[in-house]
Structure 1
């Protein structure tokens, strides 16, 4: 896994204020065909155009690359919800477009990279792996995100609390398998 860090890790002033406390992780599916490296130029362009308020996460990941856009200790604009942005770390799982460039099996490789990363962050933050620390974007905002994971692991069933718990439990089981070895 290649780790790439933006200039926000090398002295460039932070975009936002510090989070008061980190409560956990939100796993996003980008609904795009872009790899993690593609987000470098995409985010630079958003910055140049003054469009960052449209949203960004701290981390963009695929099976090969982890692009750290902004330090996780700072507020992000990834959930369309102030509380979530101020307390949860956004991990954007890349190339998640349904019927996109990756098969489900290939996207699972990107998912596994996100699960390992989530385990690392939770361990560093001294947080457990549970339904409170692993959250879905759709819990905070009216969105289909994480749509690819929803289709693959919940068979695109109705958006209910039971089905949300099913997906979260799948995420938790995969993250837990890495957490024990971090």
Structure 2
């Protein structure tokens, strides 16, 4: 069973940012770290303590065991390095995605499954279809390799272009759709 952890931002009226004007979908990120989702509790607290949140953060951090909901999904995040994406998309950070890191590709793909479940929940919460317009990659908005591990695992050594971006998005969409029909009202209650 997936363990959901919520930061203090869910309990207090003060938030880091303003509400999103409109939610268009989700962005699936790879953290390029060896951290588990629970490790981001202290990692993000250090960023807060050092006044370094501008370096970036996402709504939720996931692995196969836990989801750490850092900030409510309907508030602006700093996850894409691009204002429109930050203000209109929900960031899902897939943990332990460092290439040649602590996880085998098979184990990383288990963490990915959690991200697909969370993406399905969020898209259902906001009544959004599961399409190429609502399921996005970080590299569509910024000059980055993210999601680098997923790119390597599912596509290999191919160039970043529209065809390959759509190929990876279609893979993500296929997996997200598998979960969408299984979602119940109780499932939606866990969302941040």
TM norm structure 2: 0.94
What SS does the aligned partner of 1:27 have? strand
Confirm whether residue 78 of structure 1 aligns to residue 72 of structure 2.
Answer: no
Counterpart Cα distance in 2 of 1:110 and 1:61: 7
Counterpart Cα distance in 1 of 2:18 and 2:157: 37
Name the residue aligned to 2:12: 11
**What is the CA-CA distance between 1:12 and the residue it aligns to?**
5.0
Counterpart Cα distance in 2 of 1:128 and 1:181: 15
Name the residue aligned to 2:171: 170
Name the residue aligned to 2:186: none
Confirm whether residue 35 of structure 1 aligns to residue 36 of structure 2.
Answer: yes
**What is the CA-CA distance between 1:156 and the residue it aligns to?**
2.5
Q: Deviations over 1:64-109 (max 9, x none)?
A: 0000000011000000000000000000000000000000000001
Alignment of 1:24-173 (within 5 A): 24-173=25-174
What SS does the aligned partner of 1:117 have? helix
Counterpart Cα distance in 1 of 2:33 and 2:116: 19
Q: Which moved more, 1:152-161 or 1:118-127?
A: 152-161
Counterpart Cα distance in 1 of 2:89 and 2:147: 15
**What is the CA-CA distance between 1:160 and the residue it aligns to?**
1.0
| Unaligned ranges ≥5, structure 2 | 184-192
**What is the CA-CA distance between 1:180 and the residue it aligns to?**
1.4
Query: CA RMSD of the aligned region, Å?
Result: 0.6
Counterpart Cα distance in 2 of 1:93 and 1:121: 15
Q: Deviations over 1:24-73 (max 9, x none)?
A: 00000000000000000000010000000000001000000000000011
Runs of 4+ in 1 over 4 A off after TM superposition: none
Name the residue aligned to 2:3: 2
